[in-house]
Structure 1
Amino acid sequence: MKILILLLPFICLISCVGKQDQESVAMNVDLMAAHPSPSRVALQDGDISRAVPTQKLIKEGFVEFETSDVEKTKAQIMAATSANNAYISSDKQNNVADKVSYTLIVRIPASKFDSFLNSATKDVRYFDHKQIDVKDVTAEYFDVETRLKTKKEIELRYRELLKKASTIKDILSIETELGTIRTEIESAEGQLKLLADQVQYSTLRIEFYKITSTPAVFTYQLSSAFSKGWENLLTILILAVDIWPFILLGIGLWFGFRKFAKRKSVKKEADMTI
């Protein structure tokens, strides 16, 4: 009996340690369940992979053409923009000597892209450049969407585990995993939002221009030549000021040479008279 009494504290200690080990093992098992392997996720989301996805297309285009009236053409494009629920994301004007041009970047609902293009360029007879590109991002879109759904499910499981965690070690471990999965979720959400925007709104870059009249070109060239001539004159004056000692020396030598030549000529004439 005394032996049993002496062994009782050791038995209790072993029992407590075993219980803690069981709880730790259970928590590890729960963590593994909260963060399943890709194969496990694939099995759980098999219904998604079996579903037929809706096609996701990104359409972008570029057109360039000449017009006889840039303001009229711009007004026509703005009218087409309003009629098709589109909007201008960039508006740039450029004026040079012989050319006035506009560059517009228009975002258009994907379903109205063709309608907008036909309305905005209905009077154009010839395109200097016209290119329409369509990119299929269906696989990429649904891959991101599926990964986002899986990560959100994992986040919920971690939050449930956090409520059950009883040790500081387990709490810190779960919070670290939550921080990582939250970063991944935000990144996937941003990527999905960008793809959704590109799919929903097509982008069209429109460049149109008008060649100005010949007199305007001549006036510009005359003005440019006058400015350049004035700049050259100033350059020569600055150079003259910079080398004025050499100029004075040259003038002195020239007068000296003339005086010497004149004396020589007078002496020669006198000798011939004698």
Structure 2
Amino acid sequence: MIKLKNISFLALFLVTLGGCQHREGIQAASGANEISLENLDEKAMSADHVNREAEKTVEEKIIKTGSFRYEVQDLDKAFIFLNETTKKNGGFIENDNTTNQYGTQTRNLTVRIPSKNFDRFFESLNKEVSFFDNKSISSTNVTAQFIDVEARLKTKKALEVRYLELLGKTNKMTEIIEIEKSLSAVREDIESVQGQMNYLKDQISMSTMTIEIYKRAPAGTGATESYFSKIGNAFVSGFNSLSGFFISIIELWPYAIILALIITFVRKRKWRRTNLKNKSDGQA
């Protein structure tokens, strides 16, 4: 009887000890899970922090443009200055147009300058020109647009790679046709987005300036043409007018022929009536 009680007590002790160890194991496992979740939260917070820092460190994308108009005494010298200043700042003249009307000679230039040298170019121009008829400078922040286009381009290229992988894994003709159709559409999108990206990069890296320089003709210069020269010009102008008149008449030859036929027909008809009337009078 005493042995039975001892055995029962020992069994109860072992069960109690096992239960305690089981609870400790559960708590330990639960603690491990909590640590794992905390680590995930820390990683997520760290990733968010890195993304925010990346957004902060993105270099601003600025498009700079300028528009200037001013009078000069010598167009050629003014152009030489602009051309030399442009080259010194690593730029080039994209367009150059000259017009001469109403006694004013004008030269319109489109100048492209690296954005980093925009201010230096403007300082040189400002020192050279004493007065601007028009001076306009603008800066447009396109950072958000640039990031958006860049993200779209990366997405489209990743999609292209995925389609190529799928194309290499299938042997079914219907699937191949569908994938190639989708691949073609994605590549068209890539070309379009790439074009937008190239345009933005060009506008960001190279500033655009439109410069108009002009020179007024001195007062009284309209009478510099000699008297005999005016007579000669008048003679030529009159001859051209007369030639134009004769050419216009020649162009009307079909109508002249028709008019001549009508006149001939009317005269013959009138002549016949006159003869018939004379005959009838003679018989009477």
Which TM bucket (shorter chain)?
A: 0.5 to 0.7
Whole-angstrom distance in 1 between the partners of 2:146 and 2:203 = 11
Using the alignment, how far apart are the partners of 2:132 and 2:232 within structure 1?
Answer: 38
SS state at 2:160 partner: helix
**Aligned with residue 70 of structure 2, among 65, 70, 87:** 65
**Which of the numbers 164, 173, 180 marks the counterpart of 1:168?**
173
* Deviation readout 1:3-46 (Å, 9 max, x if unpaired): xxxxxxxxxxxxxxxxxxxxxxxxxxxxxxxxxxxxxxxxxx98
Aligned counterpart, 1:8: none
Does the C-alpha gap of structure 1 residues 78 and 120 become closer, same or farther in structure 2, counting only changes over 3 Å? farther
CA contact (8 A) 1:97 1:217 kept: no
Residues 157-184 of structure 1: per-residue CA shift (max 9 Å, x gap) = 1111111113112111111111111111
CA distance, structure 2, for counterparts of residue 182 and residue 234 of structure 1: 61
Q: What's the secondary structure of 1:51's corresponding residue? A: helix
| Change in 2 beyond 3 A, CA 1:225/1:124 | farther
Q: What letter matches 1:190 in structure 2?
A: G
Aligned to 1:96: 101
The one of 157, 180, 183 aligned to 1:178: 183
Letter matched to residue 112 of structure 1: N
- Cα distance per residue 1:119-147 (max 9 Å; x no partner): 13422111111111211111111101001
- Distance change in 2, residues 1:220/1:49 (3 Å): farther
- Cα gap change, 1:209 to 1:168, in 2 (>3 Å): same
Query: CA–CA distance in 2 between the matches of 1:234 and 1:157?
Result: 73
- In 2: Cα distance, 1:183 partner to 1:177 partner: 10
Q: In structure 2, what is the Cα distance between the partners aligned to 1:158 and 1:220?
A: 75
Q: Aligned equivalents of 2:119 and 2:177: distance in 1?
A: 55
Percent identical pairs in the alignment equals 35
Residues 156 and 212 (structure 1), Cα distance of their counterparts in 2 relative to 1, 3 Å cut = same
| Structure 1 unmatched ranges of 5 or more | 1-44, 243-274
Max radius of gyration: which structure? 2
CA distance in 2, matches of 1:236, 1:164: 83
1:51 and 2:54 correspond: yes
* TM superposition score normalised by structure 1: 0.63
Question: Number of matched residues?
Answer: 196
- Per the normalisation by structure 2, the TM-score is 0.61
Quote how far apart the aligned CAs of 1:215 are: 3.6
Which SS does the other structure have where 1:122 is aligned? Answer: helix
Alignment of 1:66-85 (within 5 A): 66-85=71-90
> Take 1:106 and 1:139, find their aligned partners in 2: how far apart are those partners?
27
Work out whether residues 97 and 216 of structure 1, in 8 Å CA contact, stay in contact via their aligned partners in 2.
Answer: no
